[in-house]
Amino acid sequence: MAKKGRTKGEKPEALISALQAANEDLRSKLTDIQIELHQEKCKVSKLERDKVQEVKRVREQEQHRHTAMLTEQRAKWHEDKQKELQALRENLTRQHEQELARHAKIKDQENQRLKAALSAMRDGSGEKVRTALTLEAKEEARRFFDQERVKLLQEIAELKTSKKQTDEALSNMIQADKMKAGDLRVEHQQHQEQISKIKWDCERDIRRLVDEIKSKDRTIFSLEKELESTTGFLQKLQLQKDALDEQLFLVKEAECGLGSPKREIPGRAGDGAEHCGSPDLRRNQRRMAELNSTIRKLEDRNSILVDERNELLKRIRESEKQCKPLLDKNKLLSKRNDDLTKSIQKLEEKMKSLVKENLEMKERISSNPPLKKLKSLNDLDQAHDDQEIAFLKLQVLEQQSMIDELTRDREKLLRKKRHKRSSRPIKRHIVVDTFFGYDEESMDSETSSVASFRMDRTPATPDEDLDEGLANEESELRFRQLTREYQALQRAYALLQEQKGGILDAEMEAKAQEQLQADVLRYKEKIEDLEKELTLKGQVEKLDSENGRLQQELQDSRDQNELLEFRILELEERERRSPPFNHLRMHPFSEGISALQIYCMKEGVKDVCIPDLIKLLDILGDNGNLRNEEQVAIIQASTVLSLAEKWIQQIEGTEAALHQKMMDLEIEMEMFCKQKGYLEEELDYRKQALDQAYMQIQELEATLYNALQQDKVIKYGEPLDELQRDELRTAVEKLRRQMLRKSREYDCQILQERMELLHQAHQRIRDLEDKTEIQRRQIKDLEEKFLFLFLFFSLAFILWP
């Protein structure tokens, strides 16, 4: 019998060890799966980062290529225009010189002819001279008219050819602009397709990861169910073992009682009764201890599951944070596409303006009056002057149009610079949170920041899907937890029934069940009455409104977190784009005074004049009486002085730039300190709201207790009254625990988010302080070098023979 008991006792131990080993294997597998999931997430994020960098690099290359092509084309057009203007100027100057020479020849011929006519008139042949003069004048006029007509025909032909050339150039430019616009549209469509593809890939990866997490949760849940079933089976086996051990003990005592003599029978019988009573007490105590241990195990398991749930929620938040940069990059790409469309529209507007100018030129050419027939030399001169004036007017109009275009470009550049400067300063408001661009609102406009956040979201953002998935997962986890608690209560109830099965009778059980049913109905009615009273008082509505307000504040805090992250990214980008110190612009000094002279005056050395010293050194270097070594030393000293002056200018320029950067960094540090103060105030406000919620919970408990005290309880006996009180206490305690747990979880979540924000702000402030310290060290080193140089040159001048 003892061997059988040992074998039965060893079997559950073996089963327990096997189950523990299986549990350890499952935990190790679960950790491996979690590690693989983390590695997959890292790989996915790395691939997405590489993809975005590749797309960015290709886009930058395309942009550089297009800008280079535009600059080359503009340079070519400018050169062609300059060449055409130069050729026109040369032709006009040549024509002017030819016209002047021709007019001089014509005047000389006219003078000679008039002299001949005067001499002939003096001779006495007046009429012959008149007829000859008229004939000569007619012939000359006819010849001049023919020459002018030929010239005008040539000019008309040249103008027609130039017009054809300009029309061809204009058509070529229009075609090139159209082709460029088509290429830009195609590239824009390609960029849009790439962006949509990246969005789709990201959403697909997110859905896949969420599905994997859900499947792993299901496997964990199934494994937990198996573990619970095995633990229940082990408990049943343990109970059977205890029952067999007790039966063996009773059988052994009965055998001992039968083997004793007759005179000891009464005493032995009394001892047997005592022993019979003591095993029942022991058995009940053992069962109570086992029930307590199972309850503790269930509580431990519940706490472990809560920790796992919190870890999963943290991972989901981390995945959301990893997805935020992708959405930010998506927004930046969309902004760049908008800029490209704006540039295309500007090119189209320029093309339209060129077409309008061409039409105006055509109208001007057509509106010019036809050339009149010239009757005399004065008319010819006047016509030539009119042509020159018209040509000069056209040149003035062209130059005016060019000046207008240049002024427009200048105004556009100034507007862009002003816009950049206006966008750079930081608004000293509370930063309210985004998922690609961010909005900064004041303390009183939290609702408007939420509205802007909702309006800025694109329809393809997966935040709503993620929130719905999180809500579904939380509801599933709560349902599972409730089912587990219900199963544990059922098992405990079954164990209690087994304990009381041998003591209670069937009639007592029936009476107890009827009484319990009546009590349940009565308590249900009481609960319904209490719920009606609560609804009449409006407590439920207040709690709902409080919950909605807290959810709204949580959303606002998330928005603030996102906007703060985006602001930090913008600051890092601006710091990355800021120029280094060696490329900064040097501040000019006042004319006539060198930097070394200013420094000497600052140090109190007013007798030394640096320009006079340099002149004296040059004179001494040119002096032939000195030795070669002395001349070389003097020349080297003068060059060193000039180089020192230049270096001092550079040092002061870099010092001014470093001082400006230090001022900017101090302004940013003040802004971060103000943000920290705002966040601390908001944290205090959240704590006050939590205290108010605790006060409302206490008021509800007091009202519930008063309502229970006012109702008259029907007494069925002392044990039933105690059970009723215990059940009510447990129900109230359970409700209180649930509300406290929810409030603590919400408070912990808000505190964690605020602590993360504060940590980021502190980190940023530390980085800025480190940068300012580095810049101060650099300034100190430069000052030490400058002092060393000044001392060196002062000693050199003092020791110079």
Res. 76: pLDDT tops 50: yes
Q: What angle do CA 95, 100, 101 make, to 5 degrees?
A: 100
**For the chain, what is the mean pLDDT?**
69
Q: Which residues pair with 432 in a beta bridge?
A: 439
Structure token pair of residue 553: 């504040």
pLDDT tens-digit readout, 553-609: 767 766 766 666 666 666 666 666 654 433 333 444 444 455 566 666 665 655 556
Q: What is the pLDDT of residue 651?
A: 74
pLDDT tens-digit readout, 197-211: 887 887 787 788 778
Q: What is the pLDDT of residue 777?
A: 80
3-class SS of residue 553 = helix
Cβ atoms 381, 102 nearer than 8 A? no
Q: Which residues pair with 439 in a beta bridge?
A: 432
Cβ atoms 290, 264 nearer than 8 A? no
Nearest CA to 297 out of 230, 239, 244 is that of 230
At 444, is the pLDDT very low, low, confident or very high (cuts 50, 70, 90)? very low
The average pLDDT across 700-713 equals 62
At 666, is the pLDDT very low, low, confident or very high (cuts 50, 70, 90)? confident
Q: Report the b/e string of 78-91 with b at 16+ CB within 10 A.
A: eeeeeeeeeeeeee
Q: Quick one: DSSP state of residue 581?
A: G
Cβ atoms 449, 432 nearer than 8 A? yes
For residues 202 and 43, give the distance between their C-alpha atoms in angstroms, rounded to a whole number: 13
For residues 477 and 244, give the distance between their C-alpha atoms in angstroms, rounded to a whole number: 40
Residue reference for tokens 């961010």: 438
Q: What angle do CA 459, 461, 465 make, to 5 degrees?
A: 105
> Which residues have a Cβ under 8 Å from the Cβ of 23 and sit 6 or more positions away?
227
SS3 letters across 466-514: HHHHHHHHHHHHHHHHHHHHHHHHHHHHHHHHHHHHCCCCHHHHHHHHH
At 737, is the pLDDT very low, low, confident or very high (cuts 50, 70, 90)? confident
Cβ atoms 80, 72 nearer than 8 A? no
Distances (CA, A) of 633 to 610, 754, 765, 794: 17, 69, 52, 16
For residues 100 and 106, give the distance between their C-alpha atoms in angstroms, rounded to a whole number: 10
Higher pLDDT, 500 or 28: 28
Q: What is the pLDDT of residue 565?
A: 64
Distances (CA, A) of 250 to 238, 244, 245, 276, 370: 19, 10, 9, 8, 143
Structure token pair of residue 131: 């007829």
Structure token pair of residue 74: 């503009």
Distance of CA 664 to the CA centre of its chain: 22
- Rounded to 10 degrees, what is the CA torsion of 279, 285, 287, 290? -140
Res. 40: pLDDT tops 60: yes
Structure token pair of residue 171: 């058509």
- Rounded to 10 degrees, what is the CA torsion of 57, 59, 62, 63? -110
Res. 649: pLDDT tops 80: no
Cβ atoms 564, 758 nearer than 8 A? no
The average pLDDT across 345-358 equals 74
pLDDT tens-digit readout, 225-244: 777 877 777 787 778 778 77
pLDDT tens-digit readout, 97-150: 888 888 888 888 888 877 776 776 666 555 665 677 778 777 887 888 888 888
> Which residues have a Cβ under 8 Å from the Cβ of 375 and sit 6 or more positions away?
141
Res. 458: pLDDT tops 70: no
Res. 187: pLDDT tops 70: yes
* Alpha helices for 368-437 (secondary structure H): 377-423
Q: In the chain, where are the structural domains located? A: 18-192, 738-800
Q: What share of the chain is helix, strand, coil (3-state, %, to 5)?
A: 90, 0, 10
3-class SS of residue 541 = helix
Res. 720: pLDDT tops 60: no
For residues 280 and 141, give the distance between their C-alpha atoms in angstroms, rounded to a whole number: 154
Q: What is the pLDDT of residue 236?
A: 78
Burial class (CB in 10 A: 0-12, 13-18, 19+), 515: middle
Cβ atoms 566, 438 nearer than 8 A? yes
The average pLDDT across 337-355 equals 74
SS3 letters across 174-200: HHHHHHHHHHHHHHHHHHHHHHHHHHH
For residues 133 and 140, give the distance between their C-alpha atoms in angstroms, rounded to a whole number: 10
At 490, is the pLDDT very low, low, confident or very high (cuts 50, 70, 90)? low
Residue 376: how many other CB atoms lie within 10 Å: 10
Q: What is the pLDDT of residue 310?
A: 79
Q: What is the pLDDT of residue 474?
A: 65
Higher pLDDT, 218 or 424: 218
Higher pLDDT, 69 or 450: 69
pLDDT tens-digit readout, 379-409: 545 555 566 666 666 766 766 676 677 667 7
SS3 letters across 656-674: HHHHHHHHHHHHHHHHHHH
Q: What is the pLDDT of residue 464?
A: 47
Cβ atoms 463, 435 nearer than 8 A? yes
Distances (CA, A) of 565 to 431, 467, 608, 748: 9, 20, 57, 21
For residues 757 and 754, give the distance between their C-alpha atoms in angstroms, rounded to a whole number: 5
pLDDT tens-digit readout, 751-775: 777 677 777 767 777 777 787 778 7
Res. 78: pLDDT tops 80: yes
CA atoms within 13 A on the CB side of 557: 26
Q: What is the pLDDT of residue 518?
A: 77
Name the strand (E) or helix (H) holding 551.
helix 539-577
Residue reference for tokens 């207790």: 705
Overall pTM surpassing 0.95 (yes/no): no
Cβ atoms 167, 334 nearer than 8 A? no
Q: Phi and psi at residue 440, in whole multiples of 5°?
A: -115, 120
Burial class (CB in 10 A: 0-12, 13-18, 19+), 693: buried
Cβ atoms 198, 330 nearer than 8 A? yes
Res. 61: pLDDT tops 80: yes
Q: Which stretch, 102-106, 448-452, 536-540, 665-669, has highest mean pLDDT?
A: 102-106
Of 478-487, 565-574, 671-680, 711-720, the least confident: 711-720
pLDDT tens-digit readout, 600-639: 666 565 555 667 666 666 666 565 566 666 666 666 666 6
Of 43-47, 164-168, 352-356, 618-622, the least confident: 618-622
At 536, is the pLDDT very low, low, confident or very high (cuts 50, 70, 90)? low
Q: What is the pLDDT of residue 456?
A: 42
Q: Phi and psi at residue 771, in whole multiples of 5°?
A: -65, -45
Residue 214: how many other CB atoms lie within 10 Å: 14
3-class SS of residue 440 = strand
Q: Please name the amino acid found at residue 753.
A: E
Res. 273: pLDDT tops 50: no
Q: Please name the amino acid found at residue 479.
A: F
The average pLDDT across 488-508 equals 59
Nearest CA to 70 out of 168, 152, 181 is that of 181
The average pLDDT across 644-666 equals 73
For residues 64 and 51, give the distance between their C-alpha atoms in angstroms, rounded to a whole number: 20
For residues 67 and 76, give the distance between their C-alpha atoms in angstroms, rounded to a whole number: 14
For residues 570 and 668, give the distance between their C-alpha atoms in angstroms, rounded to a whole number: 13
Q: What is the pLDDT of residue 309?
A: 75
Q: Is 604 left (phi over 0), alpha (psi -120 to 50) or beta?
A: left
Q: What is the pLDDT of residue 617?
A: 65
Structure token pair of residue 686: 């959240």
Distance of CA 145 to the CA centre of its chain: 80
For residues 231 and 226, give the distance between their C-alpha atoms in angstroms, rounded to a whole number: 9
Res. 268: pLDDT tops 60: no
Q: What is the pLDDT of residue 252?
A: 75
